[in-house]
């Protein structure tokens, strides 16, 4: 055989071997979880799925974390004798797809068009279904222990602080195939911008939004007012960072976070419950010593009733008043306190009486609003919140006890 013939033979063999080597690499292990292998194919597929879901964070990093968690969840399901049927998976696929107004079959077609195998979606749904059942079986009774006091406390509680964001936007048109192709080609360049001037320049050059004249700058926006996928993507940013492209009707949208801050709850204080225990002696050492002893014995306003037992009625005053009806000096001190905290800054009777002032509770709803609150809905929200916390802790325990190795 001549040299040329041998060379051609080697090249032919190499070409025949290439697909096999590529397939072998595709199914090469990237991590082992208690001996169970996660392959390169699974990682690639899940990263592509998360990209299509517009999930925040780096798709490959998030995909690897999710796959490790799911291996642990499925192993725990097997240990507990939990088996997810094909019918349950189909129902889960339909439920998930329904969030986008598609059937499970239609959603699978959309995924396939973007190169995601149906088995990737099935595994995602199967693990989620199994984990929910594990959580219900293991923690349901514990998490359902919600008392009437828990419900009432949540109803009367101060609203959670909100978040508002200062954003800049770039909206690229995708209303025609040509515009869509051009916008997709620009997407990596825009998502990689990490400076405010750089994003402003790109907005002026490329954006189809009227905000382009302002370098894409928007005014402060309540994060809760933004559509869910956009709010989720923005929540994952640090100031200066830019979202991956977000599909909106006939366009691709990019958002740069310029600033973020917590906002005060919108609900106004309707009433304040407070107690004042009057100690003779003003700011004398004896009166201050009495106040110090009270600090050791009093945890809530109700404890003051025991302290005042047998004393003249005027020694303890307990009121629930609208903020404007409270004496100004008392209102100022109460503004500095959280529930069950105490101030001894005030005196009465020309300095001869020390005021042991305690904030009991602030009410952010009227009595009618409290009365009309949907208590079953509040109870359900508390149950879901508690289940979420214990499930998160349990998954962390499973990971801590797992053997995770990277080849």
Cβ proximity of 275 and 254 under 8 Å: no
Cβ proximity of 209 and 169 under 8 Å: yes
Domain ranges of the chain: 22-157+366-407, 162-263, 271-363
3-state secondary structure of 64: helix
Q: How far is CA 361 from CA 6, 207, 320, 342, in A?
A: 90, 50, 9, 12
3-state secondary structure of 357: strand
pLDDT digits (tens, 9 = 90+) for 157-182: 766 667 889 999 999 988 888 988 89
Residue 326 has pLDDT above 50, yes or no: yes
Residue 350 has pLDDT above 90, yes or no: no
**CATH number of the domain at 271-363, out of 3.10.50, 2.40.128, 2.60.40, 3.90.320?**
3.10.50
For the chain, what is the mean pLDDT?
A: 84
pLDDT of 157 reads 73
3-state secondary structure of 140: helix
Backbone angles phi, psi at 158, to 5 degrees: -65, 135
Q: If you classify domain 22-157+366-407 with CATH, what class do you get?
A: mainly alpha
State pTM to two decimals.
0.49
Into which CATH architecture does domain 162-263 fall? Roll (3.10)
What is the Cα–Cα distance from 300 to 288, expressed in whole angstroms? 19
Same fold, 22-157+366-407 and 162-263: no
Across 259-266, average pLDDT: 76
What 8-state DSSP symbol labels residue 341?
-
């Amino acid at each position: 055989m001549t040299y040329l013939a041998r060379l051609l033979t080697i090249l032919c063999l190499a070409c025949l071997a290439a697909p096999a080597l590529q397939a072998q690499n595709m199914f090469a292990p990237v991590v082992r979880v208690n001996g169970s292998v996660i392959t390169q194919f699974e990682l690639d597929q899940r990263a592509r799925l998360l990209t299509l879901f517009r999930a925040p964070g780096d798709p490959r990093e998030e995909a690897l974390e999710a796959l490790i968690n799911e291996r642990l969840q499925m192993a725990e399901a097997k240990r507990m004798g939990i088996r997810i049927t094909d019918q349950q998976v189909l129902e889960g696929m339909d439920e998930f797809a329904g969030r986008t107004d598609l059937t499970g079959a239609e959603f699978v077609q959309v995924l396939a068009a973007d190169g995601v195998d149906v088995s990737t979606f099935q595994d995602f749904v199967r693990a989620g279904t199994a984990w929910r059942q594990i959580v219900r079986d293991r923690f349901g009774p514990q998490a359902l222990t919600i008392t009437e006091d828990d419900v009432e406390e949540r109803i009367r509680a101060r609203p959670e602080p909100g978040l508002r964001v200062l954003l800049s936007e770039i909206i690229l048109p995708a209303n025609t195939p040509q515009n869509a192709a051009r916008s997709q080609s620009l997407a990596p360049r825009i998502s990689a911008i990490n400076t405010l001037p750089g994003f402003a320049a790109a907005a002026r050059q490329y954006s189809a939004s009227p905000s382009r004249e302002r370098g894409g700058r928007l005014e402060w926006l309540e994060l809760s007012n933004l559509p869910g996928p956009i709010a989720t993507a923005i929540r994952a940013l640090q100031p200066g960072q830019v979202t991956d492209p977000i599909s909106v009707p006939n366009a691709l949208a990019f958002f740069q976070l310029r600033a973020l801050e917590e906002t005060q709850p919108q609900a106004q204080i309707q009433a304040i419950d407070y107690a004042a225990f009057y100690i003779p002696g003003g700011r004398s050492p004896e009166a201050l010593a009495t106040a110090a002893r009270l600090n050791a014995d009093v945890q809530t306003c109700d404890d003051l009733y025991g302290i005042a037992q047998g004393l003249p009625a005027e020694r303890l005053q307990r009121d629930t008043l609208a903020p404007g009806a409270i004496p100004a000096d008392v209102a100022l001190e109460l503004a500095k306190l959280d529930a069950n905290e105490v101030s001894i800054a005030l005196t009465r009777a020309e300095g001869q009486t020390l005021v042991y002032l305690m904030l009991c509770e602030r009410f952010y709803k009227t009595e009618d609003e409290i009365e009309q609150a949907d208590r079953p809905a509040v109870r359900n929200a508390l149950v879901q919140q508690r289940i979420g916390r214990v499930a998160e802790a349990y998954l962390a325990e499973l990971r801590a006890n797992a053997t995770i190795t990277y080849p």
